[in-house]
Every structure is written in structure tokens, then in C-alpha cells.
Amino acid sequence: MSRQEVNTSLVRRYGASRGSIRDLIIKVVRKREGGEMFSPTLREIFRVHHGVDVGMYTHGGCFHPFSFGPNTTIGRYTSIAATAFAATDNHPMQYKSMHGFFFNPVLGIVDKEWAFEPLSIGNDVWLGHNSIIMPGVGSIGDGAVVAAGAVVNKSVPPYAVVVGNPARVVRYRFDPDTIERLRSEKWWEKDIEELKLHLDQYTRAYGVAGDDEPAHRPAAAP
């Protein structure tokens, strides 16, 4: 698929719209630009109007408005369940009241800009059904798996598999040497057209055995 240009007119129209009109614009953009894995306009809409910066080929719940908080950055080739959620702010427990009137300028009472904490979600991450990333989490590392229903309250290392509430590391997808090799290789920086030339590396179990000798398939994620 050839690289597409951002439709700046639709980006502006989205910003000037509300409710069902915004939903319609997202639907139109998805259809016109080959779906959310490929759409540059959808990425620009969420970067400009929702503060969520999404890498190419990433898809899923990150393109549902307000499911991921402002100041979130997501890498490439990441898979996100439609029901996943990530918050980058919280109600101020140290205030006299935690009601939105007293910290959210959108509600028209205060004019102080509310601060959103930065969240970095890496490349080739998998966020499962109903997984939740809590405020204060700094990063989800490259290649990590957040299992269905997991509640993440601290950063997740690269290639870790986390489960439960609170989420805990139960294993890693690969051994340390393989993880280091993958992180150094940074295959996700390549476009899909280039990766298609080497499909054999991406359609079988991968590990320390090398390219010509497939490793044993790791256990399925919980």
C-alpha cells in the first residue's frame, strides 16, 4: 500500500464537531484510508484532538476517543483490545473535593489547565481485553503482554507478560539474550512491505535457535 497523506480538512472538521459527527468522521476516515492500521489522518486526529500519538500499524482501542488519556505515546505494530483503557490523570485526592468542577477546566468553573502524566506504550505490545493501565504508570515496554483483565499500576519491562490485579510479571516471552537482540534489531521501524519479504521470520516460533532453526514455541500468554 502506498503511503497516504493526512487529510487536514477532516482533521479540522473533527475538531470543530462533537458527538455523532465525530463518530461519523472516524468511520469515514477508516473506510477511505484502508482501516486504522494504515490511516495517517486517523493518527493526526487523535494526536491533535486527544493527545494520543499512535505509531503506524497499531490498531484497536487507542482509536476509541477517551479510552487512552492525553500525553500517551504508542509505538508501531501494537495490538490493543477494543476494551483496553489507559488513564493519564486522576481525581485529586489531596484537594478538599475530588469533583471535576474543581480541577477540570472543561466544566467551566476553573481555568487552570489540568496536568496529564506521560505514558509510553512500546512497539509490538499486546493489551488484552479489559486491561487497565492506571495513572502514574510510566511505560509499557516493547514486546510486553498485558493479559485480559490485568490492572497495571507500575511500569512493565520489555517482553514481560503481566497478569492479575495488581498486575505482576509471570514470565518473559523470550530469554534475555533474545530480548536484547530484538531490542537492538528494532524490526518495528521497518514498513510492512519490507517485512513481507521475510515472512518466515514472523510466522513461526522465534528464539535463540537462529533464523535457520526455529526455536520451540513459547507457552501461550495467559
What's the Cα-to-Cα distance from 75 to each of 10, 112, 152, rounded to whole Å? Answer: 24, 31, 18
| CA contacts within 13 A on the Cβ side of 88 | 21
Catalytic residue among 64, 91, 99, 216: 91
129 is catalytic: no
Distance between CA atoms of residues 220 and 209, nearest Å = 19
| CA contacts within 13 A on the Cβ side of 16 | 6
Vertex 9, ends 8 and 14: CA angle to 5°? 95
Q: CB of 162 within 8 A of CB of 150?
A: yes
Q: Sort residue 172 into left (φ over 0), alpha (ψ -120 to 50) or beta.
A: beta
Catalytic residue positions, numbered: 91
